[in-house]
Structure 1
Amino acid sequence: MGLLRSRFAYGYGRLWAATTASGVGDGTRTAALALYAATLTHDPFAVALVAVAGKLPWTCVGPFAGALVDRLDRWRTLWICDVARALVTGSLVLVILTGQAGVTVLAVVSFVLTSITTLAENLSQAVVSDVVGDGSLESANSRLMGGQLVSSEFLGAPLGTALFALGHPVPFALDTLSFAVSAVLVCSVRLPGARPATPGDGGLTARAVVSETAEGIRWLWRHRVLRTVCVLVGALNFAVVAVLGIAVLYALNVLHISQRAYGMLLVVLAVGGLAGALLAPLVTRALGRARTLQLALALCPLPFLIAGTTSHPLLAAGALAFVGAAISLATVVTTSLRQALVPADLFGRVNGGYRFVVNGVSPLGGLAGGALAGVAGLRAPFLFAAALLAAATVTALLRLSPAALDAAGQDAGDERGEHTVTRPPRAAHATRADAAAGERTEAPERT
């Protein structure tokens, strides 16, 4: 038992180190891409387009990536994803050095990187259970997110702005190196729980992937608790990306800060995110998952309202730090909830369907934020986000009760011994969860 626990700790440590290493590169790239786009054009819609391109793959690639997670060797595919991302960012460095980089190139790179990331992040969430053992999912996800936040926001973001000032290709070169380090760390993990998923009878074909993707989306849609959570977190993502798409212009033209100070502003925002990630296990133990998610949504409207009406950099950053905390709380809770409720053999495709909605609405949020800023000014997206998340908070209070989540958890435990890959959740599952939520039961469809 001691040997097994040490092997779990070894695998989790390597996964944490890989996530943290790539986080440094992610932070430098994200900050540098925003600054690079802002130096190429002052059009809010064009700047937002780069952010939108980085979100679009969650709609058109993400769901299919989820089906692949259930078919491929998860650990091996994870380090291959890191190698692929290193090649993409390395190519961007060469394009910048030749003077051919423009807004279109930045948008294409963002799209390709996120396309690979849809698979990599799904894989990362799927393998957490392999290395946690009998530990707490909230604690494991909290430490992973905390390490990533520290490396990307506290280190990567200010480092990205500083390196960008030294030379435009420098932060992207660091991102390339970070993916290479991550690949080496993940490649070294070998655990007995890291099973390759078994391909279906039809083999790995486009038809099979599409069919299994649809199966995951149907399973998610019939699960009332996860469906409600999915819609609410999707609204949170929509609102946040509507703001992030024009955040660099808001910082430079409304708060009137320098490019270097913009990196420090990102650090202030990250303080909230780190606090939310580290406190998530404690808050969840004290309030439960339902109340924690309600709290996360309730933290958002007022900070967005303050940011949309002030011109003081520290006041805006301090307010938005609460949004960072809310995002971390919601992410830790909902990730743990999916890992607890979704059967292991369906996790990839159901998780892909979930992220299809949650992240798939992000491009729409970016487009809406850019268009709204172009018509009504750079403050308008913040006011819109405040109104949307106020409505989401009310919905969470009405539709997500602790009793509903408790019933769903009980049903998931019962389901473990009965579920097969081709069956949707059984009718009894829907009946108890629906009764707890006060909703009408629907008979599950056959697949």
Structure 2
Amino acid sequence: MSFRLSSHPSFRAFEHRDYVRLWLGAFVSNIGTWMETLALGVYVTEVTGRAEWTGGIAALTYLPSAVLAPVAGALADRLDRRTWMLMCMGGQTLLAGLLTALAFSGQLSVPVVAVLSFLNGCVATLAGPVYSALIAGLVSPQHLHSAQSLDSAQFNLGRILGPVLAAVVLARWGVGWALLVNTLSFLTVFLALAKLPPVARSASAAAESLWGGLVRGVRVARGDEGIGLALSGTFAVAVLIAPFIGLVPVFAIQVFQGDATATSMLITAQGLGAVVAAVLAGWLAERLGRRRLLEGSVLLLGPVAAMYWLSPSLAFAGVAVFCLGAVYMWVLTGLSTVCQARAPREALARVISFYVMLLNVGYSVGVWLQGALADRLGLRPVTACAALGLLGLVLAWRALRPRGVEALEG
């Protein structure tokens, strides 16, 4: 009896050929993106010698979502999504190519990296909602959770493989070659998009003004209790839990007196946890139900995050962040699936854009605030209290709105 990968509940989205093409293209491109991220981080750190510059430039890629994410969603609902995605990929390729050319010509500088990182963040923000909307349109509704889980898996696999490949390229050939690989990696997305049929734009969205489309998107999100709860939950998770991603170097170096190797170990462990969670997500969702999986994951998230921050040793922290990466992935996949499954097709990209905006803005606020408080009060007390704060919010919400959880059925 033959075994097909797509026969497993977690891989059902792979039954859709166009989804597989886009998944593979995004996976290769994501590896290149992480290679560029590491290469630029190393370059800025070596040139300036200051973590403040490294973290500040990294944050520039998230800032545009505060303003552009809702606009991106409205545009994606008004335009042909494949064409819009091709335009965004073209913009990112040009920016990556410019960075590569400057590196090879010896003209790369920290201010240039800052400006191009901000511009790349703008284009990436414009591409995010339409990419998610494309995924939702390529699979059947019952396979949407599988598609979201597998997309998270490819992102985390890219985060594991990209830095490893970047380290090899940087050691042997230098920054320019790592940036060149990223530039070329966008070709895989172009090839995948070229195979997709055009996606007809929504007639009702096209007839609206851009501002009218934004207002209608807000009304859709506020009018659906499930979407509203999922977006609120996303912001709470982003502020209170997500900063563990950006604070990994501080935790490894300041708390455990580690180095880059310790930092890399924790990042890899988190990525592996997310990948394993993606493989198990479909199986668990099929047996528990998507709503029960999300509800249980949200309840676990705070305690698991606190366990990580209170780890007595680096080895324990590695195991804890593996578990945290898994639960965090289940929570975000579940919340995203609720938003996409409950949103009307003509407003899908706008609802997704609100999710992206709240996740990125919440993370930016949370990582800055927790970092600033940690400098004054200590990293462990601040982060552990934030993690347990999420648990308190979840328990309070369940007590005050016992029937509200039913609205999270995607």
> Normalised by the size of structure 1, how large is the TM-score?
0.78
Residue of structure 1 equivalent to 2:156: 149
Is the 1:308–1:383 contact (alpha carbons within 8 Å) kept by the matching residues of 2?
yes
Q: Displacement of 1:68 after TM fit? A: 0.5
Residue of structure 1 equivalent to 2:210: 209
Amino acid at match of 1:196: R
What's the CA shift string for 1:339-366, capped at 9, x where partnerless? 2211101112222223222322222123
Could you tell me which runs of 5 or more consecutive residues in structure 1 were left unpaired when the two chains were aligned. 1-6, 413-447
Runs of 4+ that moved beyond 6 A: none
Residue of structure 2 equivalent to 1:22: 29
Whether 1:228 aligns to 2:229 is yes
Whether 1:117 aligns to 2:130 is no
Q: Distance in 1 between matches of 2:103 and 2:309?
A: 35
Residues 121 and 381 of structure 1: CA distance in aligned 2, closer, same or farther (over 3 Å): farther
Q: Distance in 2 between matches of 1:399 and 1:12?
A: 40
Q: Give the secondary-structure state (helix, strand or coil) at the position aligned to 1:245.
A: coil
Match of 2:20 among 13, 23, 29: 13
Q: Distance in 1 between matches of 2:354 and 2:72?
A: 10
Amino acid at match of 2:32: G
Whether 1:101 aligns to 2:106 is no
Q: Displacement of 1:64 after TM fit? A: 0.5
Is the 1:290–1:400 contact (alpha carbons within 8 Å) kept by the matching residues of 2?
no
Whether 1:176 aligns to 2:183 is yes
Is the 1:122–1:352 contact (alpha carbons within 8 Å) kept by the matching residues of 2?
yes
Q: Distance in 2 between matches of 1:315 and 1:408?
A: 34
Q: Distance in 2 between matches of 1:12 and 1:405?
A: 30
Q: Distance in 2 between matches of 1:37 and 1:300?
A: 34
What's the CA shift string for 1:88-136, capped at 9, x where partnerless? 122223344425422x444433332232222322112212233214652
> How many residues were matched structurally?
396
Structure number having the greater helix percentage = 2
Residues 186 and 58 of structure 1: CA distance in aligned 2, closer, same or farther (over 3 Å): same
Q: Displacement of 1:327 after TM fit? A: 2.2
Residues 141 and 305 of structure 1: CA distance in aligned 2, closer, same or farther (over 3 Å): closer
Whether 1:52 aligns to 2:59 is yes
Residues 395 and 19 of structure 1: CA distance in aligned 2, closer, same or farther (over 3 Å): farther
Q: Displacement of 1:216 after TM fit? A: 0.8
Written as runs of structure 1 = structure 2, the 5 A alignment for 1:293-304 is 293-304=294-305
Residue of structure 2 equivalent to 1:136: 143
Residue of structure 2 equivalent to 1:319: 320
Q: Displacement of 1:404 after TM fit? A: 4.5
Q: Distance in 2 between matches of 1:32 and 1:377?
A: 30
Percent sequence identity is 24
Q: Give the secondary-structure state (helix, strand or coil) at the position aligned to 2:78.
A: coil
Written as runs of structure 1 = structure 2, the 5 A alignment for 1:20-419 is 20-41=27-48, 45-97=52-104, 98=106, 100-102=108-110, 104-133=111-140, 135-150=142-157, 152-166=158-172, 167-190=174-197, 194-198=199-203, 208-260=209-261, 262-310=263-311, 312-379=313-380, 382-395=383-396, 397-398=398-399, 404=404, 406=406
Residue of structure 1 equivalent to 2:4: none
Is the 2:241–2:305 contact (alpha carbons within 8 Å) kept by the matching residues of 1?
no
Q: Give the secondary-structure state (helix, strand or coil) at the position aligned to 1:300.
A: helix
Amino acid at match of 2:330: L
What's the CA shift string for 1:286-332, capped at 9, x where partnerless? 33333322322233333433443446333222211222112211232
Q: Distance in 1 between matches of 2:397 and 2:58?
A: 28
Alpha carbon RMSD of aligned pairs, Å? 3.0
What's the CA shift string for 1:62-98, capped at 9, x where partnerless? 0100001101111122122222112212222334442
Q: Distance in 2 between matches of 1:48 and 1:245?
A: 9
What's the CA shift string for 1:245-295, capped at 9, x where partnerless? 332343344334443553343221111111222222222223333332232
Q: Give the secondary-structure state (helix, strand or coil) at the position aligned to 2:154.
A: helix
Q: Distance in 2 between matches of 1:78 and 1:32?
A: 26
> Normalised by the size of structure 2, how large is the TM-score?
0.85
Could you tell me which runs of 5 or more consecutive residues in structure 2 were left unpaired when the two chains were aligned. 1-13
Q: Give the secondary-structure state (helix, strand or coil) at the position aligned to 1:55.
A: coil
Amino acid at match of 1:195: A
